[in-house]
Structure 1
């Protein structure tokens, strides 16, 4: 096990002991207090760990042998399935960089605040999308600008 992985496990265990088993952030607390930060840090680390686990399973399946289906249709179907699986893993690889960025923002005390406006992103949005970097309004404005520039 790598030093980074053991450090992540240690952080998760520390967060679990701080939070208790059934803690969920709520609006009655001070926004982005230590307990909420620990909750999101644990959530992000668990998500990252599950992605790494799934990627490891994919690698094991790939290493178990090449596709050697005798029927051309079966082979084409298998290759299509593998292509989808590999694209999924590529998207998850990109997601890991977003998770790492969110973890850095937690360490720097910037997590939970919009990178455009500086306003709180909101607990419901962060629970739904822990890697969010903008408020819903800022994200919508960003997507409108992106669509307009794409249409030009």
Structure 2
């Protein structure tokens, strides 16, 4: 009996149990699309919360220099976090485009499958582990010269 998979209720284990020949079939693509859309929504919501918090704080004047410095440091940390999330948001949107074009899940360097375990851990991955390691070695090599 063949197990029927529903992308709406699938778990990571369900994805991993699928046959290798099912790699990036419609069900898997729908599963990763759902996951990426959820991540995208989370990033957008975090950005809205940050904007609201900054707008609320702008109206409060803080006289104590130590308190003001602490708040400015918290703002700087929050902005760095949002910048990382902004970059991740771009990767998420690129991954969604790859799903639309049918190229999702395949290494951009080699064309080989990236692998389900890697995509479950990092759904925005565009390189297989081997290709990523090669790039990192090359970057390290050229950084040392």
The two structures share one fold, judged by TM-score above 0.5: yes
CA contact (8 A) 1:27 1:123 kept: no
Counterpart pick for 1:58 among 50, 60, 64:
50
1:126 and 2:116 matched? no
Q: Paired residue for 1:72?
A: 65
Task: For residue 69 of structure 1, give the secondary structure of its aligned residue in structure 2.
Answer: coil
Aligned equivalents of 1:80, 1:54: Cα separation in 2: 19
1:21 is matched with which residue?
Answer: 9
- Give 1:23 shift: 3.4
- CA–CA distance in 2 between the matches of 1:143 and 1:80? 32
Aligned to 1:14: none
TM-score, scaled relative to structure 1: 0.84
User: Normalising to structure 2: TM-score of the pair?
Assistant: 0.88
Task: Please give the secondary structure, in 1, of the residue aligned with 2:77.
Answer: helix
Structure 2 residue 35 is the aligned partner of structure 1 residue 35: no
* 3-state SS of paired residue (2:57): coil
What's the offset of the Cα at 1:27? 4.5
Give structure 1 regions of 4+ aligned residues with deviation exceeding 4 angstroms: none
List per-residue Cα deviations over 1:61-84 (Å, max 9, x = no partner): 111132532221111111000001
- The answer to whether the aligner puts 1:83 opposite 2:71 as a matched pair is no
CA positional deviation for 1:130: 0.3
- Which stretch shifts more, 70-79 or 49-58? 70-79
C-alpha separation between the residues in 2 aligned to 1:19 and 1:27? 14
